[in-house]
Amino acid sequence: MNYADVLKHLAEQNLYRRLTNVRIIDSSRAIVDGREVILLCSNDYLGLSSDKEVIDYATSELSNISQCSSRLVAGNDPILVELEQRLAEHKAMERALVYPTGYMASLAIAALADEHSIIYSDELNHSSIIDACRLSRASINVFKHNDVAMLEELLASSTSSTATATATVATSTHHSRRIVVTEGVFSMDGDMARLDEIGRLCREYNAMLIVDDAHGDFIYGSNYRGTTEYMNAEDYVDVIISSMSKALGCFGGYIAGSEEVVEYLINRSRTFIYTSSLPALFARAALKALEIIKDGKIAYDGDKNKKILHPQDRLITNAKMLREALAREGFNLKGSTHIIPVLIGDEKVALEFADMLLKHGIFAQAIRYPTVARGSARIRVSVTALHDEDTLKYVADVFSMVGKDLNLI
């Protein structure tokens, strides 16, 4: 097939992707086609990306736009080292390592495995994890989404028990390293991994546990350490991957783990070694955003003097309010978190739904195959701490009207 044929085929199947010009005002508002609309697809869940303190701090000592070099050559700005210390403290892990993007941090999983390893991966894991699995050359076992029983079956079937003087130790029959990898909050289904149970299995079967918590980090848990803290699973987790371009409102990715894992990645992770470092500008922004999160205060842009306590609480309250309103209208919703997937099913109808929302001043994306399974297209609604009650009521009303027009409810 040539490129034109592929594009034609995609269009026929309602799977063609188009870029929309969007100028973000803050995480709740944007300019689309020259007019202000309600934004329902930002991952800036706490509204930090437009925070004035963050912007001022990021740009205050700006002497260059970028280090224009790999960390291992001339790119290791001390601000990155400081950020890594703060991120390691945030995660209560020995060390952290910053990557230029969350995608590149996820790809580092490839370095943690090799052709002698076996990786157990949740079927709904993000594409960056799928790509990392492929790059690693490890054997891959995909388990059904959050299916702990299936994961146990897979772990057990590749395990033999070896009696030692003190204990019975589970070891892999064929593989030198076993790795279980899952997201924390699933980006397209908005549910949480059963990390406590998965963690216990990893311990029992002597497998390493890697969690990509791009969407739960800085939100969940009493110290905002993410899904692992919220699920009481921190002791089971060996490596955490996260993004700074979601709730932290900045840019870049990072990995937290042991001293040994981080030193290993510095020496072996191709997406760390062979690319330019995260610009110091973003590292400064992330440091300030992290400080604000730890303080529990966020300044609202647009209402300069308004400070709110615990934006995470506000985010959860907003998500609950909108989830309940949409469920009352009869929509089929997935998950339980601040990511609210409104299931539509048919790809064409999902596109029509998004178009109709935009006509009513709401910008939300129709998510289709291959990001989600065929026939399970959805509108992925992400609420943020900056949406207010009236806006969310309006959103629920418009969803209801469009849902009725399209015979979905």
Ligand X SMILES: Cc1ncc(COP(=O)(O)O)c(C=O)c1O
Closest CA to 301 of 24, 26, 29: 26
Q: Is 246 a catalytic residue?
A: yes
Among 382, 332, 376, smallest CA distance to 15 is for 376
With CB under 6 A as the rule, give the number of residues binding ligand X: 14
Q: How far is CA 262 from CA 240, 242, 269, 278, 286, in A?
A: 11, 14, 10, 17, 20
Residue 26 or 212: the one with the smaller Cβ distance to ligand X is 212
Task: Say if residues 106 and 245 touch (Cβ distance below 8 Å).
Answer: no
Give the residue with the Cβ less far from ligand X, 104 or 351. 104
Least distance in angstroms from the C-beta of 337 to ligand X = 13
Query: What is d(CA 340, CA 380) in angstroms, rounded to the nearest whole number?
Result: 6
Closest CB 170 distance from ligand X, rounded Å: 28
Question: Contact 245/252 with Cβ under 8 angstroms?
Answer: yes
Residue closer to ligand X by CB (options 227, 312) is: 227
Q: Shortest CA distance to 350 belongs to which of 370, 328, 379, 313?
A: 379
**Binding to ligand X, residues 54-113 (CB under 6 A):** 101-103, 106
- Mutual angle of helices 148-157 and 195-204, in 10-degree steps: 10
| DSSP element (H, E) containing 362 | strand 362-363
DSSP H or E run through 346: none
The verdict on whether 310 is a catalytic residue reads: no
Collapse the DSSP code of 307 into the 3-class scheme (helix H, G, I; strand E, B; otherwise coil) and give the result: strand
CB of 215 to ligand X, least distance (A): 6
Contact pattern from residue 208 through residue 237 relative to ligand X, giving x for each residue in contact according to CB under 6 A and a dash for the rest: ----x-xx----------------------
Q: How far is the CB of 130 from ligand X (least distance, A)?
A: 11
Residue of 216, 221, 253, 257 that binds ligand X (CB under 6 A):
253
Considering the candidates 187, 269, 277, 376, report the single residue annotated as catalytic: 187
Neighbours of 325 (CB within 10 A): 17
Structure tokens at 130: 């799928």
| Token pair in block for residue 181 | 């990898």
| 215 a catalytic residue | yes
As measured in angstroms, the least distance from the Cβ of 135 to ligand X is 15
Residue 187 C-beta: closest distance to ligand X, Å: 4
* Residue window 315-354: x/- pattern of binding to ligand X, with contact defined by CB under 6 A: ----------------------------------------
Query: Which CB sits closer to ligand X, 51 or 183?
Result: 183
CB of 142 to ligand X, least distance (A): 16
Decide: is 243 part of the binding site for ligand X (CB under 6 A): yes
State the DSSP string of 74-108.
II--HHHHHHHHHHHHHHTSSEEEEESSHHHHHHT
Which residue has the closest beta carbon to ligand X? 102
What one-character DSSP code corresponds to residue 244?
S
Active-site residue, selected from the candidate residues 246, 288, 334, 387: 246
CB burial of 223-243 (b: ≥16 within 10 Å; e: otherwise) equals: ebbbbbbbbebbebbbbbbbb
Which is catalytic among the residues 91, 175, 215, 288?
Answer: 215
Which active-site residues does the annotation give?
187, 215, 246
* Contacts to ligand X by CB under 6 A: 101-103, 106, 126, 128, 183, 187, 212, 214-215, 243, 245, 253
